[in-house]
Amino acid sequence: MTRPMKDSGIEWIGQIPENWQTAKIKYCCDIIMGQSPDSNDIKESGNIPFMQGNREFGTRYPHPTVFCDSCSKHSRIGDILMSVRAPVGAINESDRIYGIGRGLCSIKADNIDNVFLKYYLMKSVNDLQYYSNGSTFEAITTEILNSFTLVLPPGNDQKNIAAYLDAQCAAIDTLIEQTRASIEEYKKLKQAVITQAVTKGIHPGRKMKDSGIEWVGEIPEEWGIAKISSIGTTCSGATPLRSNETDFFNDATIRWVRTLDLNDGLVSDTSEKITELALQNSSCNIMPVNTICVAMYGGSGTIGKCGLLTQPCATNQAVCSIVCKQDCIMPMYLLFQLQAIRQYWMIFAVGTRKDPNISQDIVKNMRTILPPLAEQQEIAAYLDEKCAAIDAMIDKKEQLVSELESYKKSLIFEYVTGKKEVTA
């Protein structure tokens, strides 16, 4: 039986059940806005775990990385933690007392089921972000938060909705976690397939020899070893002056590769482009098709990411370009080999600086394995087929994760706004 409904007066919600109420959050909750202590008071150990923003939020409950001995603003056990600065609206639960900085607030519900309120706030992120302001980053003020409107079912309905969503979301989260774990296993399988093929070949039972490279071990006897500098030429690019945004970046058409454009595959387009004038007034060069690009900056998550250009592109200074000598090595084979050695770039990066990068010299001196050209082509074709099949499975599972996350969001919305009713 359909429940009588009424207009909530809240655009993103629409209608709510007739017996539900609306109220400003300031009349229903005690809100503590964070305040940062002096930077000298932040330590690696101390009495109170401290969080400036949502960086330490885990899947449930924060994972603090710094502490302070005292803090003027702190959460209480059972409070809802919410980020009030970019990004606005990230939600977590306070399982103990936390010192909170200006990027967070702590919300204690008064006569509202805390779990229901958590789910309601999770679905209010877009609305909160709409009212955020700031010249350099998004933020919501105390006044904005105090005037935020809640929809409130009767008390028993709040508890029923909270219990139902806890059970349903836990089941969905388990499926998401299992699917993500499966994705990681497929990624490991892909890495193992690539490494095996580029270091041992695809024909078993061959006579082997020591490569002299620790991470490679033995290679087929007829294969060779060479530094990248001997099988190709290298260079890096540049970033045109950002102060000349209009002349150098607006209405631009020249593809310009940055590290975020590299994803261990083919590069056919870039996230940003530069103009002909920018090219003429910087150290950028147009790199030809089949150039291999390697990320030199960005820490362990980015260093060593690579890509093969299918279109002529310029690059920035964080990218090392390798133009292969076609009589020595096939670009596609080198692309697969660089994927196999990606984890080893960090060995060379660690000792270079506090925030480690690799240099063009490190790239030049990296040793590569050289099968005969015909076998390189055979290995590249084999890996194309094998990796495509694994990537298809990964894509399918990532799509499942996306669908589960969307379903979870819609489920929360439907129940915290009364579109659906929890039945016994």
pLDDT score at 135:
43
pLDDT score at 417:
94
pLDDT score at 353:
55
Report the alpha-carbon distance of residue 324 to residue 321 in Å, rounded: 10
Q: Which residues contact 234 (CB under 8 A, 6 or more apart)?
A: 228, 320, 321, 322, 323, 360, 363, 364
**CATH 3.90.220.20 domain locations along the chain:** 18-150, 224-370
CB 153 within 8 Å of CB 419? no
Report the alpha-carbon distance of residue 227 to residue 247 in Å, rounded: 40
Report the alpha-carbon distance of residue 89 to residue 80 in Å, rounded: 11
- Which residues in the chain come in under a pLDDT of 50? 134-136
Backbone angles phi, psi at 253, to 5 degrees: -130, -10
Q: Which amino acid is at 407?
A: Y
pLDDT tens by residue, 331-357: 999 999 999 988 888 777 765 556 678
State the SS3 of 121-186: HHCCHHHHHHCCECCCCCECCHHHHHCCEEEECCHHHHHHHHHHHHHHHHHHHHHHHHHHHHHHHH
pLDDT score at 43:
85
Residue 52's CB is within 10 A of a number of other CB atoms, namely 19
Q: Provide the 3-class DSSP secondary structure of residue 75.
A: coil
- Exposure letters 308-337 (e unless 16+ CB within 10 A, then b): bbeeebbbbbbbbbbbbeeebbbbbbbbbb
pLDDT tens by residue, 220-252: 999 999 999 999 999 999 999 988 888 899 999
Closest of 395, 412, 422, 397 to residue 170, by C-alpha = 412
pLDDT score at 233:
96
- Structurally, at CATH architecture level, domain 18-150 sits in Alpha-Beta Complex (3.90)
Strands 48-51 and 367-370: unpaired
* Cis peptide preceding 312, ω within 30 of 0: no
Report the alpha-carbon distance of residue 187 to residue 145 in Å, rounded: 42
pLDDT score at 132:
61
Tokens of 175: 């499926």
- Structurally, at CATH architecture level, domain 153-205+372-424 sits in Orthogonal Bundle (1.10)
Q: Provide the 3-class DSSP secondary structure of residue 20.
A: coil
Q: What is the CATH number of domain 224-370?
A: 3.90.220.20
Is residue 393 classed exposed, middle or buried when 0-12, 13-18 and 19+ CB atoms within 10 A define those classes? Answer: middle
**CATH 1.10.287.1120 domain locations along the chain:** 153-205+372-424
Closest of 9, 74, 82, 80 to residue 37, by C-alpha = 74
Q: Provide the 3-class DSSP secondary structure of residue 33.
A: strand
